[in-house]
């Protein structure tokens, strides 16, 4: 609580040197601790006030910068900073604006931003960061997504200025628009000077003539805002989208923070992203692989017919050019879709199929004892 030296001496700010001196003598006499009914604390205050106001230079300094604090205020006035966010979104962490993301433990954030609970207020709005899960196909095509975000936004009643409509925002009389109070004190090490955030205007240098009745002069109110996010085609997991000015609104119309959307692409049952290419697998029957032909393959553009060359081996990769993920910078350039062929060996054979396969094997020079010939062939190939 700031001390008002004029109030302590019971004189107006315009008081002459004589008036100050008379007031001091009267009060010093009244509170002198040696006297019955004296009050040491008040006596000390009166002396402190007189010391500051009796000297022209000190008085001018006091009038300009206000009262000196002997210690940093213990205030915890982080009014309005709360940690609850809208349901339905996973806020994985907050960014302090320098790229470092830390977990949403609000006591940590306060000590980071406010320097361990000192009474300083950051007028600018803080950046927000949230995770947004999108489908694989959405990441390929891009999309416009609307989200409802509960955050501190500009108070609609006062348009974020903190002043009741029709009234002015004026320069703070305490700090004269500086936003901070320079304090001087004498110590055994000499004169110490320190700056402290002005408690009257919370460091903004301005105060509303008449505080807005909706936001009590802060200019910000917690509210839900619908935000449209344009997610570009080709975005990948871990990439961030910045929405400038969509973070929390600044105190009394000061700069708002930014909103960072961290994209997380959900896994797809068939497609795997590999740079700008997409990989998938197709099963081909033993007969299809041997004889060749065409088969339908799912791509992000829908099904396409893929030509299977006769005699294809399992693990062979077939390329569908231009069916991959669009490059973020070139809307027309796309990666490829790479299809890995997996040949499915027939398992449940009918008696007739078995007979036919034996005949086929004999025709190609294999003996009917499959196991033996298989190992024999392996040996031959080394
Ligand atoms: Zn308001
Ligand atoms: Zn001020």
| Nearest ligand to the C-alpha atom of residue 196 | 2
Rounded to the nearest angstrom, the distance between the alpha carbon of 52 and the centre of ligand 2 is 21
Rounded to the nearest angstrom, the distance between the alpha carbon of 25 and the centre of ligand 1 is 47
Would you call 21 helix, strand, or coil by DSSP? helix
- Superfamily of 5-64 according to CATH: DnaJ domain (1.10.287.110)
Q: d(Cα 373, Cα 268) in Å, to the nearest integer?
A: 41
* pLDDT for the residue numbered 70: 27
| Nearest ligand to the C-alpha atom of residue 160 | 1
Beta-bridged to residue 334, according to DSSP, are: 326
| Nearest ligand to the C-alpha atom of residue 199 | 2
Rounded to the nearest angstrom, the distance between the alpha carbon of 62 and the centre of ligand 2 is 14
| Nearest ligand to the C-alpha atom of residue 216 | 1
Rounded to the nearest angstrom, the distance between the alpha carbon of 180 and the centre of ligand 2 is 6
Q: Residues near 15 by Cβ (< 8 Å), separated by ≥ 6?
A: 6, 9, 23
DSSP 326: B
Q: d(Cα 143, Cα 135) in Å, to the nearest integer?
A: 10
Rounded to the nearest angstrom, the distance between the alpha carbon of 211 and the centre of ligand 1 is 8
Rounded to the nearest angstrom, the distance between the alpha carbon of 207 and the centre of ligand 2 is 8
Rounded to the nearest angstrom, the distance between the alpha carbon of 220 and the centre of ligand 1 is 6
Closest C-alpha among 232, 228, 235, 202 to residue 217: 202
Rounded to the nearest angstrom, the distance between the alpha carbon of 80 and the centre of ligand 1 is 13
CATH architecture of 272-380: Sandwich (2.60)
How many angstroms separate the Cα of 215 from the Cα of each of 79, 86, 198, 223, 276?
11, 20, 20, 12, 49
Rounded to the nearest angstrom, the distance between the alpha carbon of 222 and the centre of ligand 1 is 11
**What residues flank ion ligand 2 with Cβ within 5 A?**
172, 174-175, 198, 200-201
Rounded to the nearest angstrom, the distance between the alpha carbon of 280 and the centre of ligand 2 is 64
- CB contact burial 188-227 (16+ within 10 A = b; e otherwise): eeeeeeeebbbbbbbbbbbbbebbbebbebbbbbeeeeee
Domain boundaries, the chain: 5-64, 94-168+209-265, 272-380
| Nearest ligand to the C-alpha atom of residue 161 | 1
Main-chain dihedrals φ then ψ at residue 260, nearest 5 degrees: -105, 125
Question: How many residues make up the chain in this entry?
Answer: 382
| Nearest ligand to the C-alpha atom of residue 176 | 2
Closest C-alpha among 258, 254, 243, 249 to residue 154: 249
How many angstroms separate the Cα of 312 from the Cα of each of 148, 287, 291, 340?
52, 11, 9, 11
Max Cα-Cα span within the chain: 129
* pLDDT for the residue numbered 68: 37
Rounded to the nearest angstrom, the distance between the alpha carbon of 151 and the centre of ligand 2 is 26
Rounded to the nearest angstrom, the distance between the alpha carbon of 204 and the centre of ligand 2 is 7
Rounded to the nearest angstrom, the distance between the alpha carbon of 177 and the centre of ligand 2 is 6
Rounded to the nearest angstrom, the distance between the alpha carbon of 164 and the centre of ligand 1 is 7
Rounded to the nearest angstrom, the distance between the alpha carbon of 249 and the centre of ligand 1 is 12
* pLDDT for the residue numbered 119: 44
* pLDDT for the residue numbered 2: 54
> Strand 190-197 to strand 272-274: parallel, antiparallel, or no bridges (unpaired)?
unpaired
* pLDDT for the residue numbered 52: 84
* pLDDT for the residue numbered 364: 84
End-to-end CA distance of the chain: 91
CB atoms within 10 A of CB 329: 8
Local confidence pLDDT in tens for the 382 residues of the chain: 456 889 899 998 889 999 999 999 888 888 887 777 778 888 888 888 898 888 888 888 777 666 433 222 222 222 222 233 322 333 333 333 333 333 333 333 333 333 333 444 556 889 999 999 999 999 999 999 999 999 999 999 999 989 999 999 999 999 999 988 888 888 777 888 888 889 888 888 889 999 999 999 889 999 999 999 999 999 999 888 999 999 999 888 888 999 999 999 999 999 999 999 999 999 999 889 999 999 999 999 999 999 999 999 999 999 999 999 998 876 679 999 999 999 998 888 899 989 998 898 888 887 655 555 555 555 555 5
Rounded to the nearest angstrom, the distance between the alpha carbon of 166 and the centre of ligand 1 is 12
How many angstroms separate the Cα of 73 from the Cα of each of 116, 117, 180, 204, 208?
13, 10, 13, 18, 23
Residue ranges in the chain assigned as alpha helix (H): 5-9, 17-31, 40-54, 56-65, 106-114, 136-141, 286-291, 351-363, 370-380
* pLDDT for the residue numbered 41: 84
Rounded to the nearest angstrom, the distance between the alpha carbon of 329 and the centre of ligand 2 is 47
Whether 336 contacts 322, CB under 8 Å: yes
Would you call 194 helix, strand, or coil by DSSP? strand
Main-chain dihedrals φ then ψ at residue 271, nearest 5 degrees: -100, 140
Same fold, 94-168+209-265 and 272-380: yes
How many angstroms separate the Cα of 260 from the Cα of each of 172, 192, 214?
34, 42, 28
* 94-168+209-265 has CATH 3.30.470.10 classification: no
* pLDDT for the residue numbered 371: 53
Q: d(Cα 53, Cα 259) in Å, to the nearest integer?
A: 50
* pLDDT for the residue numbered 77: 28
Rounded to the nearest angstrom, the distance between the alpha carbon of 181 and the centre of ligand 2 is 8
| Nearest ligand to the C-alpha atom of residue 205 | 2
Rounded to the nearest angstrom, the distance between the alpha carbon of 147 and the centre of ligand 1 is 24
């Amino acid at each position: 609580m700031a001390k008002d030296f004029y109030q302590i001496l019971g004189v107006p700010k315009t008081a002459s040197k004589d008036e100050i001196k008379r007031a001091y003598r009267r009060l010093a006499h009244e509170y002198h601790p040696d006297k019955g009914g004296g009050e040491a604390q008040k006596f000390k205050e009166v002396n402190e006030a007189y010391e500051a106001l009796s000297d022209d230079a000190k008085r001018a300094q006091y009038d300009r910068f206000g009262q000196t604090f002997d210690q940093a205020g213990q205030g915890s006035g982080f009014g309005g900073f709360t940690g609850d966010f809208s349901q339905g979104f996973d806020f994985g962490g907050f960014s302090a604006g320098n790229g470092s993301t830390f977990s949403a433990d609000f006591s940590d954030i306060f000590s980071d931003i406010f320097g361990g609970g000192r009474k300083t207020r950051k007028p600018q709005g803080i950046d927000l960061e949230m995770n947004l899960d999108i489908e694989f196909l959405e990441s390929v095509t891009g999309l416009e997504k609307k989200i409802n975000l509960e955050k501190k936004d500009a108070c609609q009643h006062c348009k974020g200025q903190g002043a009741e409509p029709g009234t002015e925002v004026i320069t703070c009389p305490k700090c004269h628009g500086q936003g901070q109070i320079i304090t001087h004190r004498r110590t055994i090490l000499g004169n110490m000077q320190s700056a402290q955030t002005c408690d009257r205007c919370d460091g903004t240098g301005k105060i509303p003539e008449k505080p807005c009745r909706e936001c009590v002069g802060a200019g910000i109110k917690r509210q839900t805002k619908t935000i449209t996010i344009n997610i570009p085609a080709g975005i990948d997991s871990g990439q961030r989208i910045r929405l400038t000015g969509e973070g929390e609104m600044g105190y009394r119309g000061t700069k708002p923070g930014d909103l960072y959307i961290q994209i997380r692409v959900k896994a797809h049952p068939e497609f795997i992203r590999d740079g700008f290419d997409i990989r998938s697998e197709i099963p081909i029957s033993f007969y299809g692989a041997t004889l060749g032909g065409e088969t339908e393959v799912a791509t992000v553009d829908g099904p396409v017919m893929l030509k299977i060359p006769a005699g294809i081996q399992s693990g062979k990769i077939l390329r569908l050019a231009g069916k991959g993920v669009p490059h973020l910078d070139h809307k027309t350039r796309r990666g490829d879709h790479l299809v890995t062929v997996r040949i499915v060996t027939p398992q449940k054979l009918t008696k007739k199929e078995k007979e036919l396969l034996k005949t086929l094997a004999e025709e190609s020079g294999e003996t009917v004892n499959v196991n033996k010939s298989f190992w024999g062939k392996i040996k031959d190939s080394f």
